[in-house]
């Protein structure tokens, strides 16, 4: 459909595709722990404080105010 083509082109509804070199240097701004990619939620999750940072249009939004708490299961 045209809407899904448009959403893919503008960075919505797809998996997170970040440069591996960028992922190596990015850390959580709150606790400085490493991050891992959650492709399903299109987020970067912190290994330390369990915050999830959104990735919008292929750009990680590394602001604590924009992050959401991830439930520990």
Torsion sign across C-alpha atoms 71, 50, 15, 63: positive
2-59 pLDDT tens trace: 444 333 334 444 578 888 899 999 999 999 999 999 999 999 999 999 999 999 998 9
Global pTM value:
0.76
Closest among 22, 27, 73, 20 to 53, alpha carbons compared:
27
pLDDT at position 72: 61
Task: Examine the pLDDT at 70 and tell me if it is beyond 80.
Answer: yes
pLDDT at position 17: 84
Q: Which residue has the tokens 């606790």?
A: 31
71 band by pLDDT with thresholds 50, 70 and 90: confident
């Amino acid at each position: 459909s045209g809407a899904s083509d448009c959403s893919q082109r503008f960075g919505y509804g797809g998996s997170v595709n970040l440069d591996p070199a960028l992922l190596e240097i990015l850390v959580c701004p709150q606790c400085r722990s490493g991050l891992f990619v959650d492709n399903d939620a299109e987020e970067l999750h912190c290994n330390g404080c369990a915050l999830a940072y959104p990735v919008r249009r292929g750009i990680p939004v590394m602001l604590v105010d924009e992050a959401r708490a991830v439930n520990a299961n």
